[in-house]
Amino acid sequence: MAGAKLIADYVRNLPPKPGVYRMFGEDGAVLYVGKARNLKNRVSNYANGRGHSNRIALMIGLTRKMEFVVTQTETEALLLEANLIKSLKPRFNILLRDDKSFPYILIRKDHPAAQLTKHRGARKAKGDYFGPFASVGAVNQTLNTLQKAFLIRTCSDSVYEGRSRACMLHQIKRCAGPCVDLIEPAAYDELVKEATDFLRGRSNALRQDLQARMAEAAEAMDFESAAKLRDRIRAIAAVTTDQGINPDGVEEADVVAVHTDGGKSCVQVFFFRAGQNWGNQSFFPRHDSEAEPAEVLAAFVAQFYDDKPAPALILLSHEIEEADLLGEALSLRTERKVTLHTPRRGEKRKLVERTLTNARESLARRLSESATQTQLLKGVQRVFDLPDLPQRIEVYDNSHIQGTNALGAMIVAGPEGFEKNHYRRFNMKGDDAATNDDFAMMKAMLKRRFARLLKERDDGAPVPDLVLIDGGKGQLSSVMEIAEELGITAETGITIAAIAKGPERDAGREAFYLPGKPPFKLPMKDPVLYYLQRLRDEAHRFAIGGHRAKRKKQMTDNPLDGIDGIGPSRKKALLAHFGSAKAVRNAALADLEAVDGISKAMAKKIHDWFQK
């Protein structure tokens, strides 16, 4: 489902409250960020399909997902909308767009001139790390502000060392130019210190210092220096303006709230650093339906900070057992005092209530989507005559070009939608890859999958209720041969079916095949048909993506890499002697024997490899 129909589904569960909404496209990229006095009324305008410009109509058609943040006032929604537009740079808010660990900002200090950069992953570089940010877009916006305010370089060391004159960033007043000695090292270090203080929440003291220096420069008639200081003050003020989403009194904290309903939970986390809101994310932990909210919250906090440093303060929506013990453990891991607190009143309680509201709204939308998914799975159960509601559907497709770079793909879907951590790709090697016979490739792929399934089933590995093959009667027959050979039948709880494209690949006229039954079709407007098409298309997308990556890699591979016994040293010697892999391929046996480090036996192996 997509476009206006998708948006209409969201509208049914939206509150008549102010807030911000985000529209996402096929690839997860943010298409649009908007604010509303009444979310329900505003978003419903997109669903009616009337009176839209071509640009808005295109945006609606591309929408595949929406997310929402409920705010207290429309003014607060406006401020949050501005923050998100600046950080995320959505395609339809601006005409052109510049562009699961959390991103950080790193001030790298293992170089005489410190570098400002964004960072993900292990903290191997020497320097100061600031974060987490909820998105890379939020990091980019903060880096932009830091460049304007503190003029710290963002270029790589190789670019820095190769400069003979200042780059464009210096000309547009976003870098002090330490690469060509346009600033003294001590003065540059002072800029780095100021940036570090700013990211640690000391913006008020810094701004007062800059204001005093600006006044002194103006009094001394040094208007050029005063103007530079004024621009820096403005850049800092742009992100430290007092507002509901950047509250006073909260310099560094994570606000974590959980809402539970119907045996499901949503944990919402807002990140506040340096007195600013650095974004939010929703999480949906899996747990028993009997679990209490406080129990879910305690487990989430313990796991969430396992691979990332905790802030000095974590504000919680519920009192949790052994909070002091958990705080002590996080303090030990972070090497500083970490406090877990459940506020009862004041500004901090307002933050928790706001976060809890967003958790409640996110869970309501998730439950609504789950209910829709359940209805679709009931339809699948009916169509394929399954004994129970399917909990795991595996869909298979393959991709190749005349048998080259052959690759098979499996995607998995269930009550929670697509389960991408269970997706698998199958590299076709040997005889399986040396063919453009789709029947044989599908047969080889399912043979490998079913053989592994039988080994893992006794260990509690998930077993599919339905295996769906992209193909027709021929592909199904090939797969059934393997299934019967391995003893996999409907009696074992696994139903195998195929979906064939309609005449001239016409979507909506697909035929479905089940063993021992005549083919059948579903009504054109049947939601189950749309769902099965989505499954088939997702498997095709996943297979095509893997095939393209494999083909791209092959284009950059060196032919020498496939020869057993040719490592980096021998490859380097061969290329140095002949100049290219092509010349090695055309070389005579005697010429190969003349290369340093290549024995007669190895020369013969190389020669025979290329002759084959």
Domain final residue pick, 365, 384, 416: 365
pLDDT band at 400 (very low <50, low <70, confident <90, very high): low
Q: Among 88, 121, 156, where does a domain finish?
A: 88
Same domain, 502 and 398: yes
Q: Lowest mean pLDDT of 40-49, 96-105, 130-139, 413-422, name the range.
A: 96-105
Residue 171 lies in a domain: no
Question: Does residue 341 contact residue 316 with C-beta atoms inside 8 Å?
Answer: yes
Q: How many domains does the chain have?
A: 4
Give me the mean pLDDT over the 255-279 stretch.
84
Residue 241 lies in a domain: no
CATH of the domain at 420: 3.30.420.340
Asked which of 120-124, 448-452, 518-522, 537-541 is least confident by mean pLDDT, the reply is: 120-124
Of 67, 51, 52, 48, give the one whose Cα is nearest residue 4. Answer: 48
For the domain that residue 79 is a member of, what is the CATH number?
Answer: 3.40.1440.10
Q: What is the DSSP letter of 180?
A: G
| pLDDT single digits (tens) 185-220 | 998 998 888 888 777 766 666 777 778 888 888 888
**Is residue 414 domain-shared with residue 520, that is, in the same domain?**
yes
What is the Cα–Cα distance from 168 to 166, expressed in whole angstroms?
Answer: 7
- Tell me: do 324 and 432 sit in the same domain: no
pLDDT at residue 607, as a whole number? 85
Q: How much is the pLDDT for 342?
A: 93
Name the domain boundary from 73, 88, 103: 88
Tell me which DSSP letter residue 459 carries: T
Q: What are the b/e assignments for 89-128, b being 16+ CB within 10 Å? A: bbbbbeeeeeeeebbbbbbbbeeebbbbbbbeeeeeeebb
Indicate whether 480 pLDDT > 80.
Answer: yes
Phi, psi of 361 (to 5 degrees): -65, -40
User: Given a cut of 90, is residue 283 above it in pLDDT?
Assistant: no
Are residues 510 and 584 both part of a single domain?
A: no
Q: Which of 222-226, 392-396, 540-544, 592-596 is predicted least confidently?
A: 222-226
Is the same domain home to 402 and 522?
A: yes
Range from 122-126, 188-192, 454-458, 602-606 carrying the lowest mean pLDDT:
454-458
- In angstroms, rounded to a whole number, what is the distance separating the alpha carbons of residues 289 and 189? 55
Evaluate if pTM is beyond 0.85. no
274 and 292 in a common domain: yes
Angstrom distance (rounded) from CA 51 to CA 545: 37
Angle at 485 between CA 479 and CA 491, to 5 degrees: 85
Of 385, 373, 409, 388, nearest in space to 496 by CA: 385
Please give the mean pLDDT across all residues of the chain: 81
The residue-averaged pLDDT of 165-174 equals 87
Whether residue 305 sits in one domain with residue 257:
yes
For position 280, which CATH number holds? 3.30.420
Alpha carbons 185 and 91: distance in angstroms, whole number = 40
Q: Are residues 397 and 475 in the same domain?
A: yes
With a cut of 50, say whether residue 3 has pLDDT above it: yes
Are 509 and 535 in contact by the 8 Å Cβ rule? The answer is no
124 within some domain: no
Same domain, 565 and 549: no
For residue 463, tell me if it sits in a domain: yes
Using one digit for the tens of pLDDT, what is the confidence trace for 352-386?
A: 998 999 899 888 888 777 778 889 999 999 999 99
Whether the Cβ atoms of residue 474 and residue 439 lie closer than 8 Å to each other: yes
Residues 589 and 482 in one domain: no
Smallest CA-to-CA distance from 540 within 499, 601, 503 is with 499
- Tell which phi-psi region holds residue 135, choosing left (phi > 0), alpha (psi between -120 and 50) or beta: beta
Q: What is the mean pLDDT of residues 457-475?
A: 81
CATH code of the domain containing 565: 1.10.150.20
pLDDT for res 2:
81
User: Are both 427 and 546 inside the same structural domain?
Assistant: yes
Q: Is the dihedral of CA 282, 287, 289, 293 positive or negative?
A: negative
Q: Give the phi and the psi of residue 46 in degrees, each rounded to 5.
A: -75, -25
Same domain, 421 and 276: no
Tokens 């395609």: give the residue: 91
With CA atoms as reference, report the closest residue to 278 among 143, 152, 381, 402.
143
| Nearest Cα residue to 498 out of 478, 535, 538, 471 | 471
256 within 8 A of 301, measured Cβ to Cβ: yes
Q: Round to the nearest angstrom and report the end-to-end CA distance of the chain.
A: 51
Three-class SS state of 35: strand
Residue for token pair 């060196």? 558
Q: Under DSSP, is residue 424 helix (H, G, I), strand (E, B) or coil?
A: strand
Residue 424, domain extent = 393-554
